[in-house]
Amino acid sequence: MINESLGDDFILVGFSDQPQFEKILFVVVLISYLLTLIGNTAIILVSCLDPILHTPMYYFLTNLSFVDLCFTTSIVPQFLWNLHDAAKTITPVGCAIQLYVSLALGSTECVLLAVMAFDRYAAVCQPLHYATVMHPRFCQYLAAIAWLSGVGNTLIQGTITLRLPRCGNHKIYHFICEVPAMIKLACVDIHANEVQLFIASLVLLLLPLALILVSYGYILKAVIKIRSAQAWQKALGTCGSHLLVVSLFYGTITAVYIHPNNSYAHNQGKYITLLYTVVTPTLNPLIYTLRNKDVKGAFKRLVQIYQNIGE
């Protein structure tokens, strides 16, 4: 029961068996978090301030950056504190909040990446009708679906996980309060919970991934028909950044959530979780800015505007 957890603090074991690694990890995670804050905030600001970027693609990119900002903030500050603190504890309320928030945002990102793939499909395969298909109201509906999917999933998954009886078990063999690690604390048969988690993962991980692959299948088909080097270049420029982000995020998160019933979630799972909670949100803004002429151009225009104002 949830009330049962309102006793002793949880212990996030994390990487406590590797004290030297923890010292290095503290510095790496801190730098990554600062870069995440700076990079994603910059993308949100430039997408909102530059009129040229007021398009569906950058509307969804702004949503993605906001998700990454909140996602890492729900995890990294507590993680940094525990890397520095020998006790490595988190209150039951803090653990519940971290579980609900991080699960909601992670689920939202899964669906949002699929929505962004559909946007790229419309841009490449339906260029003449793109403005009609991806009109602002429809984009808002798609973004709302992504956010509501995340909220709905966390309310179901998080509540079921927190209601499991733990019989005093409070040592979490992970560095965050995450569903695969939390259900291991239960002192009852968790087979039904693992099946339910697997089904939820199919819906919110593999179904969006399937939609992404279908979208890019149509994109590839359309580009092959044109048989133009310029078309290939344009398609790569339009879709390359998104494909790279999808590969980083889905390649790591599926490894943890599709295999919650074995030691993978305890051991290698911790390192894989580091990738999609810390590394990926740091790389996303770099991928989109370094590979995107529009964003780099927007940054230059804003810098010039502020320089002119200063003069």
DSSP class of 9: P
Q: Closest Cα partner for 172 from 62, 270, 105?
A: 270
Number of neighbours of residue 60 by Cβ within 10 angstroms: 25
| For residues 25-51, average pLDDT | 91
Average pLDDT over the chain reads: 85
Handedness of CA 246, 249, 252, 258 (dihedral sign): negative
Report yes or no: 181 and 98 within 8 Å, Cβ to Cβ. Answer: no
Residue ranges and CATH numbers for the domains of the chain are 3-305 (1.20.1070.10)
Over residues 50-62, the mean pLDDT reads: 88
Q: Is the model's pLDDT at 267 over the cut of 70?
A: no
Q: How far apart, in whole angstroms, are the C-alpha atoms of residue 58 and residue 69?
A: 16
pLDDT of 137-196, one tens digit each? 999 999 999 999 999 999 999 999 999 888 878 888 889 998 888 888 888 888 888 888
Our measurement of the distance from residue 190's CA atom to the centroid of its chain's CA atoms, rounded to an integer in Å, reads 26
- The whole-number pLDDT of residue 257 equals 78
For tokens 């049962």, what's the residue? 4
Contacts 24+ apart (CB under 8 A), 185-188: 188/164
Question: Do 104 and 159 meet the contact criterion of CB atoms below 8 Å apart?
Answer: no
The helix (H) or strand (E) run that includes residue 59 is helix 56-73
Q: How confident is the model at residue 210 (pLDDT cuts 50, 70, 90)?
A: very high
Return the bridge partners of 172, or none: 12
pLDDT band, residue 231 (cuts 50/70/90): low
Q: What is the pLDDT, as a whole number, of residue 291?
A: 61
Nearest 5°: CA angle at 220, between 215 and 225? 130
